[in-house]
Amino acid sequence: MMKKFPPIEKILEAYTAIADGHVKLENDQALVTSSNEAKTYTVTFHDNTYTSNDNASYWQGYLGYPGIAVLMLQGKLPYDKELAQQFAGVDWNKINQEYKRNYAQAADAVMTAKGIDKKKAETELHHVYNALKQLPIIVKRGSLRPPKAN
């Protein structure tokens, strides 16, 4: 089981990555392009051990949105494709900077701007988050440092 958990709103960032086609799964790794397309992160996986060189995973020690997106595509976490499509095209980097990393406010602003049913989205977020908490995976700091912007 993971020792540290991400802010629940990171699930929405994973939805955007998948909806925008920014996750390329390979045999034992995935390449995940950021929402503003300035960085590409590497998520590695072997058995139940995952590493990612996004800032959250590398510096904060919790699985960031690239790893969450990979787990969804691997079928290890629930994934609501219809809801994810509603988060397509969101530049989370810009929004999170605008809201000074207050992820709850940033998510609320995105849902309001896109006319997304907040109650439905929050119910699904909690469903995914609870599943994430139950996953028997280990998250480690990988050898790759976080990438610089292109």
pLDDT at 80 over 80: yes
pLDDT at 141 over 80: yes
Q: What percent of the chain has pLDDT over 70?
A: 100
Q: What percent of the chain has pLDDT over 90?
A: 93
Tokens of 56: 């959250």
Q: What is the pTM of this model?
A: 0.96
pLDDT in tens, 107-126: 999 999 999 999 999 999 99
Cα–Cα separations (whole angstroms), residue 42 to 16, 28, 104, 130, 149: 17, 10, 26, 25, 14
Mean pLDDT of the chain: 96
pLDDT bucket at 101, cuts 50 / 70 / 90: very high
Give the pLDDT score at 150.
78
Domain ranges of the chain: 10-140
Give the pLDDT score at 60.
93
